[in-house]
Structure 1
Amino acid sequence: MEIKLWINNKLFQDNVEADMLLIDYVRSKGFLSVKRGCETANCGLCTVHLDGKPVLSCSTLVIKANGKRVTTLEGLKEEAEEFGAFMADQGAEQCGFCSPGFVMNVLAMKKELENPTEDEIKHYLAGNLCRCTGYMSQLRAIKNFLEAKKED
Structure 2
Amino acid sequence: MKTLGILLSTAGLAAVGAIALATPAQADELAYCPGARTISSAQVYRDNKPPGWGDVRLVKDNCSQYWAEVTMDARLPRYALTSAYLVQYGGSNNGRVLSCDSSGGTGAVQTGQRTCRTPKVRSLDTSTTFVAIAREFHNYGGGYQKISENRTARTR
TM-score > 0.5, shorter chain as reference: no
* Coarse TM-score class (shorter-chain normalised): under 0.3
Output the TM-score relative to the length of structure 1. 0.27
- Structure label with greater radius of gyration: 2
From the two aligned structures, give the one with the greater helix fraction: 1
Output the TM-score relative to the length of structure 2. 0.27
